[in-house]
């Protein structure tokens, strides 16, 4: 573990989410506790010629209601759907942290909010307007809506952040990479506070056709680690953390939720779609090393768990290689079984689930796990969550292209 100035240790003081099973943290956690299924028939766009007709969509989100109190960002309700989700989650996280905009020391704050795809809903609307409806022009805000850094810019404007403000993009590891970068900035004294995570909203006709062509979507549901699994289910939403240096949080009397104790990043450097065991293994190993804890210290692991055949088996093997005998004592689950796979936002949403498990001493289940794959023989908490004291927890994100990011959370510093 690299020696870290105790004052620069990174702590979590706020969390926010928008998900298919709850559009704020209390609703989301309640959904996990109930084993709520957020997967259902797709809607809101034409479905002709689609073979995959299910997704995990956010229902009932009204930006003009949720974001009506925004004062500085005058365009947020006119933004793309992915920016709405990001703004709402960031707002919830900032309220939980007890912070308001504009930030008091704006050049000592960062906003790193990524997206795997950016404004794809806007893209499709624009193309339909031009090529199907034969309109002469697109909406005047089309360009601003589609940019992958729009969400971070909107949030930075609302909260008056003038330090590093940009997006990360690493497919399904996007949020975890954003959180890792923010951690580095705080540890190294670049900033004292950061809003970090990711948002995604890509469920439309074109995207469904593209994923359908890759043959990785299930027509039935998301069943991680199950013998019956036959693909993942697209989801959407946002997951955002407010991170601060320990000294900054203490100085303002903030309630510290958890410590971001360590993170690790790696690349398979092998194949765009077929994951390795080595890459995920090394990311987990590095995260533990960065946290300065032994594998046996981890009580709960929120798995990447996409319900694709190769990913689930390789993640299982990688966990065994990192944790040894302790792998069989770990409580592990994939919450994607409930909220679907929100692509770049996954690591942010799952970080919130992981921290809540620590706070509540309760670990969420992997629903739909009635008949496990014999090669996925760890304790994946089938169907029903359980009471369990959780001191340290890990969250895995493994993306297309072999891009891996792992976060380790621990208790607030004493």
- Which amino acids are annotated catalytic? 172, 304, 341
Residue 384, class by beta-carbon neighbours within 10 Å (0-12 exposed, 13-18 middle, 19+ buried)? exposed
CB distance 111 to 156 below 8 Å = yes
242 vs 194: CA distance, rounded Å: 6
Of the chain, the end-to-end C-alpha distance in Å amounts to: 19
Residue 297's alpha-carbon distances to 252, 263, 364, in angstroms, are 31, 15, 19
């Amino acid at each position: 573990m690299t020696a870290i100035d105790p004052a620069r240790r990174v702590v979590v003081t706020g969390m926010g989410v928008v998900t298919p099973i709850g559009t704020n943290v209390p609703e989301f956690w309640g959904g996990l506790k109930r084993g709520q299924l957020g997967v259902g028939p797709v809607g809101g766009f034409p479905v002709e010629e689609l073979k995959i007709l299910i997704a995990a969509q956010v229902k009932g989100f009204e930006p003009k209601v949720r974001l009506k109190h925004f004062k500085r960002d005058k365009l947020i309700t006119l933004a793309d759907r992915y920016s709405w989700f990001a703004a709402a989650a960031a707002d919830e996280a900032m309220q939980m942290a007890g912070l308001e905009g504009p930030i008091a020391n704006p050049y000592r704050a960062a906003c790193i909010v990524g997206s795997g795809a950016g404004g794809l809903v806007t893209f499709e609307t624009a193309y339909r307007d031009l090529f199907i409806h034969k309109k002469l022009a697109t909406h005047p805000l089309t360009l601003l809506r589609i940019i992958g850094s729009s969400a971070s810019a909107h949030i930075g404007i609302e909260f008056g952040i003038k330090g590093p403000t940009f997006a990360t993009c690493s497919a399904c590891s996007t949020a975890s990479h954003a959180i890792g970068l923010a951690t580095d900035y705080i540890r190294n004294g670049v900033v004292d506070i950061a809003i970090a995570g990711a948002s995604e909203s890509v469920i439309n006709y074109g995207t469904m056709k593209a994923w359908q062509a890759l043959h990785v979507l299930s027509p039935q549901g998301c069943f991680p680690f199950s013998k019956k699994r036959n693909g993942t289910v697209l989801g959407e939403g946002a997951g955002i953390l407010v991170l601060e240096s320990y000294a900054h949080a203490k100085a303002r009397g903030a309630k510290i939720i958890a410590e971001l104790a360590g993170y690790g990043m790696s690349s398979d450097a092998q194949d765009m779609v077929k994951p390795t065991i080595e890459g995920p293994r090394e990311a987990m190993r590095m995260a533990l090393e960065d946290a300065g804890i032994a594998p046996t210290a981890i009580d709960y692991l929120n798995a990447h768990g996409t319900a694709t055949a190769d990913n689930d088996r390789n993640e299982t093997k990688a966990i065994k290689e990192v944790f040894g005998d302790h792998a069989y004592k770990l409580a592990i689950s994939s919450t994607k079984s409930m909220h679907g796979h929100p692509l770049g936002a996954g690591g942010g949403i799952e970080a919130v689930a992981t921290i809540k498990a620590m706070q509540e001493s309760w670990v969420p289940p992997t629903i739909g796990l009635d008949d496990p794959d014999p090669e996925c023989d760890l304790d994946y908490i089938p169907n029903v969550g359980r009471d369990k004291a959780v001191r340290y927890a890990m969250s895995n994100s493994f993306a297309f292209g072999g891009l891996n990011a792992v976060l380790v959370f621990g208790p607030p510093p004493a």
